[in-house]
Amino acid sequence: MANSHQLKRVDFIFRNENDWEKVLSKTIKLKPQDIINELISSELKGRGGAGFPTGLKWKLTAEAPSEEKYIICNADEGEPGTFKDREILSKVPYKVLTAMAVCGYVTGAKQGFIYLRGEYKFLEPELNKALDEFQYYCSEIKLDFKITIFMGSGAYICGEETALMESMEGKRGEPRNKPPYPTLRGFKGKPTVINNVETLAHTYTIFNYGAKKFYDLGVQYSRGTKLFSVSGDTPKPGIYELELGMSLQDFVYEFGDGDTKAVQVGGASGFLVPRKKFKDAAIGFKGKLTGISLPTGGSMMLFNSSRSMFNVLDNYLDFFREESCGQCTPCRVGCQQLLLGIKAVKRGEKPASYLDKLLRLTETMQLTAKCGLGQSVANSFSSIVENFREEMIY
C-alpha cells in the first residue's frame, strides 16, 4: 500500500486493436442481456469523471421504449490537464467505433455520433478514414449502425452531457435540468447512451478479455484501470494506464520531481491536494474504505515549490468565468465574484476574512448551480484557499 511505492503499469487501452473485426462479430452474436450483465459484473464506471456505472446506463437505454435511439461518444475533452481521449482516438480509434456499434446493438440504436471538440479538428480526416473502413465492415456483417462525427466549436461546457446534446441540436450549449436523464430523453428527446471515449475503450477490453480480467484490477468500488494524463512539474509528462485505487503518495513518488508541493487531481474542477495529505489520499470513486477519495477524470497536474498557488487559483477562476455558460446566476456571477474577490484580497483592498465570505459563496454555488461546472468550482477553490491561505493574502 502506501509504503510499497509501487504503481502497477497496465497496458490494455493501447494494446493492438487489429482484432476489432473479430471482437465485433463475436460480441454481437451474444444476447444483448448477456452483454449488459457482463458489463455490470465488470463494475466499469464512466471514465469522464462522473463515474456512472456503464452497464446500468446501457441497460436503462435498452429498456427505454422508443423506436429511435442514439449512441454518443463524448470526445469534448476540455478539462484542463486531460489529453487521453485524443490519444485514444488517434491511436486506437477502432476500439471506440466497435464499442459504439456493440452499444447500438445492445440498445437498439441505429445511429451513433462522435462529438469531437473543435480543438481536435486535425483528427477528423484520420478518424473519417477509420470510419469508412469500419462502416464497410458493418455492412459486410449486416450490422445496421451508422456513425458520424459532429464537430464542437470551442466550449468547455459542451462536455456536460446535456449541454452537448443541446449543441448537437444547433443550440447554445446550456445544460438541461436532470431528470429526465439522457437514457430516457437525450438527443432530440430520444433515449441516448452517452459515454466518454475512454469508457468505450474499456468496454472493448471487457468484450475482448471478459469482465473478470477487468474486475480483478483496481480496488473495491473502483475496479479496472484508468488513463492518467500527467503534466506540470514532472520529469515524465504523458499518458499512463494505471490501476485505480493507487495512493497519491505512490503517484508522487513515481512522477514527482522531488519537490512536489501539491497535486491537482481531476482538473480545474477537481481538488488540490497539498503535500501533507498525499499519504491519506487515494484515486478512486467514493466508497473506498479509508482516506480521501479523489476524482477519477485522470487529470494529474503537479506543482513544485516554485509555483504560487494564488496564480494557480487565479488561472482556474479565469477559466471558469469564461467557460460558464451564463445560464444560471450562481455560476455566472459566482465565478466573476470569486475572481474579483481573490484579487482584491491579494491587493489588500479587502481583509483576509473576506476569503471566508468567498468560501461561503462557493458553498452556495455548490448547492444551487444547475450543473457540474458551477457546483465543482468549490472543489478547487476551497482546497486551495484552505490549504494555502497565506499565499492568497501575502
Residue 44 or 75: the one with the smaller Cβ distance to another protein is 75
Cα 355 to Cα 313: distance, rounded to the nearest angstrom: 13
Site string for another protein, 242-271 (x = CB under 8 A): ----------------------x---x---
Give min distance, CB of 142 to another protein, in A.
27
Outline where 144-302 has alpha helix (H).
Answer: 161-168, 197-209, 211-215, 248-255
- Is 167 a binding residue for another protein by CB under 8 A? The answer is yes
- Is 80 a binding residue for another protein by CB under 8 A? The answer is yes
Work out whether strand 238-243 and strand 299-304 pair parallel, antiparallel, or are unpaired: unpaired
- Using CB under 8 A, pick the residue from 139, 153, 329, 364 that binds another protein: 153
Give min distance, CB of 325 to another protein, in A.
8
Residue 205 or 264: the one with the smaller Cβ distance to another protein is 264
* DSSP output for 65-100: --S--EEEEEE---STT--HHHHHHHH-HHHHHHHH
Q: Are 82 and 299 in contact (CB under 8 A)?
A: yes
Q: Which of these ranges, 23-31, 74-82, 270-278, 385-393, lies near another protein under the rule CB under 8 A?
A: 74-82
HSE value, Cβ hemisphere, 13 Å, CA-based, for 302: 26
Q: Which runs of E-coded beta strand occur in the chain? A: 70-75, 111-116, 146-151, 192-196, 218-219, 222-223, 225-232, 238-243, 260-265, 271-274, 281-283, 292-294, 299-304
Q: Which of these ranges, 16-24, 32-40, 284-292, 318-326, lies near another protein under the rule CB under 8 A?
A: 318-326
- Is 169 a binding residue for another protein by CB under 8 A? The answer is yes
Residue 381 CB partners (closer than 8 Å, separation 6+): 313, 316, 317, 338, 358, 359, 362
Please report which helix (H) or strand (E) contains residue 374, including its range: helix 372-387
Cα 168 to Cα 149: distance, rounded to the nearest angstrom: 11
Residue 109 CB partners (closer than 8 Å, separation 6+): 61, 69, 70, 71, 103, 145, 191, 192, 193
Q: Which amino acid is at 86?
A: R
Give min distance, CB of 227 to another protein, in A.
12
Q: Which three cell numbers stand for residue 116?
A: 469531437
- Using CB under 8 A, pick the residue from 2, 111, 146, 150 that binds another protein: 150
- Is 355 a binding residue for another protein by CB under 8 A? The answer is no
- Is 323 a binding residue for another protein by CB under 8 A? The answer is yes
- Is 170 a binding residue for another protein by CB under 8 A? The answer is yes
- Is 122 a binding residue for another protein by CB under 8 A? The answer is yes
Site string for another protein, 3-42 (x = CB under 8 A): ----------------------------------------
- Is 319 a binding residue for another protein by CB under 8 A? The answer is yes
Site for another protein in 208-237 (CB under 8 A): 229-233, 237
- Is 136 a binding residue for another protein by CB under 8 A? The answer is no
Residues in binding contact with another protein, number by CB under 8 A: 51
What is the CA angle 198-201-203, rounded to 5? 115
Cα 319 to Cα 315: distance, rounded to the nearest angstrom: 6
Give min distance, CB of 165 to another protein, in A.
11
Site for another protein in 89-108 (CB under 8 A): none
User: Residue 329: how many CB atoms within 10 A of its CB?
Assistant: 13
Site string for another protein, 279-308 (x = CB under 8 A): ----------------------x-x---x-
- Is 316 a binding residue for another protein by CB under 8 A? The answer is yes
Please report which helix (H) or strand (E) contains residue 381, including its range: helix 372-387
Q: What counts of helices (H) and strands (E) characterise the chain? A: 15, 13
Residue 42 or 327: the one with the smaller Cβ distance to another protein is 327
Residues in the chain: 394
- Is 171 a binding residue for another protein by CB under 8 A? The answer is yes
- Is 82 a binding residue for another protein by CB under 8 A? The answer is yes
- Is 322 a binding residue for another protein by CB under 8 A? The answer is yes
- Please give the residue ranges that form the binding site for another protein (CB under 8 A): 77-83, 86, 117-122, 150-156, 167-173, 188, 229-233, 237-239, 264, 268, 301, 303, 307, 311-312, 315-316, 318-319, 322-323, 325
